Amino acid sequence: MDRAVQLKRGISRQFSAGSMKLGGKFSFKRQSSMDPRSNNIRFSFGRQSSLDPIRRTPTKDEFTLPGNLDSTMQLLFLACKGDVQGVKDLLDDGIDVNSIDLDGRTALHIAACEGHVDVAQLLLSRKANIDARDRWGSTAAADAKYYGNVETYNILKARGAKVPKTRKTPMSVANPREVPEYELNPLELQIRKSDGISKGNYQVAKWNGTKVSVKILDKDSYSDPESINTFKHELTLLEKVRHPNVVQFVGAVTQNIPMMIVSEFHQRGDLTTYLQKKGRLSPPKALRYALDIARGMNYLHECKPDPIIHCDLRPKNILLDSGGQLKVAGFAVIRLSKISPNKARLARPVTIDRANLYIAPEIYRDDLFDRSVDVYSFGLILYEMMEGVQPFHPKAPEDAVKLMCVDDKRPPFKIKAKHYPPDLKELIEECWYPDSTVRPKFSEIIIRLDSIVGNCSKQGWWKETFKLPWK
């Protein structure tokens, strides 16, 4: 009988019609049953990778594989069954010995998991890649060792096979079911250090073909409880926020070293770089950018059950996407000690950056503060977009901060009043007012900015300002 016909018949005797699980694993569902819940039951193909974080118990039930099984799945199936002749026939027919499924599993991985020594030896004689790694980084030798298949393991080791070293992270979970939903496979991240972003520890990477920003936890931080708590705090906040004007969290690596936080990448960089290049912005663009920032901040301030207070709102923490929209970033880095639902203080130990031009006086003096500290910073950013220079330029940042936070001075408006949209100066002055109770909330700021834009459009104010060299 033709070998292909035999194979199909053999497969149909072992499995009942089902469907493959997304992701390329050999997983199937039960055939139709009176129990409506049966459609939700999933079955794994043989033993899993030793590093797969989701552990599933192989079933003893009888199943049938689909008749249109491709050659790679046939090879893995026969390796799982220990069918040496079947594997040999497929290899003789030209099937690549190193064919992989979507999880990166080869026939050698499968044979090592199941302890089929003869199949493993056959695959090795056909030049199977002894150190091929699956999507979780596991090798055939690691799988053989994990499942106690000593003879297979010794054969692989004798041929120089490597067993990847694994190190537990401070966030490692004992039960694989507790692995966070945001967990990413580090092997899917291609970090290009030469393209590093000059902001903190962020670097450019590619994740499944998409550019992302990756924040890598410093190697000295794993033994520092405070650094780990800060990392966890950042993840907790990033995971729950979703808004068009807030930087998008992609996922994280917490079960492998190095631990990483992955977020969306913005090719156009941050507002600091943009302002250094463009200088003073046109009133329409400054107001549009101000609305983007205000909307993102209002979302953070209205988060439930507790508002997210940024504490470090400044141009370098505002990113520009490809469409020219602004997104607030860096809001989850500073940890706070909550004194009441609306009052907080910086958690200790914290080193205050006294060269941060946009730091609110309350934080500078280490006083209790509330959400209004972000409104203060917003006022200075709006001033800079309209004036084209930083507050008290060209004074040193430390001196400018001291003038604002200790002496209660505010930078002068140098652009003529007639070039400011009506009511905009007043809004800026209220935002940076020394008494925090006078500062408006972002929900009010949005309404007032919308009103300013509307009035300027109705009165044709923009036409006059376009005569100036705005950018």
Catalytic residues: 312
**What 3-state DSSP class applies to 46?**
coil
> Do residues 243 and 295 touch, judged by C-beta distance below 8 A?
yes
Helix-then-strand count for the chain, H and E: 16, 11
CA of residue 381 relative to chain centroid, distance: 27
Q: Which of 351, 300, 355, 298 is nearest to 330 (CA)?
A: 300
Structure tokens at 423: 């009511």
| Residue 212 φ then ψ, to 5° | -140, 165
Q: Which residues lie across from 270 on neighbouring strands?
A: 319
Residue 272 host element (H or E): helix 271-278
If you ran DSSP here, which 8-state letter would residue 320 be given? Answer: E
Q: Which residues, including other chains, have CB under 8 Å from residue 295's CB and lie 6 or more apart? A: 243, 244, 245, 442, 446
Structure tokens at 78: 């026969």
Encode burial over 334-351: b for 16+ CB neighbours within 10 A, e otherwise.
bbbeeeeeeebbbeeebe
> Do residues 345 and 339 touch, judged by C-beta distance below 8 A?
yes
If you ran DSSP here, which 8-state letter would residue 30 be given? Answer: P
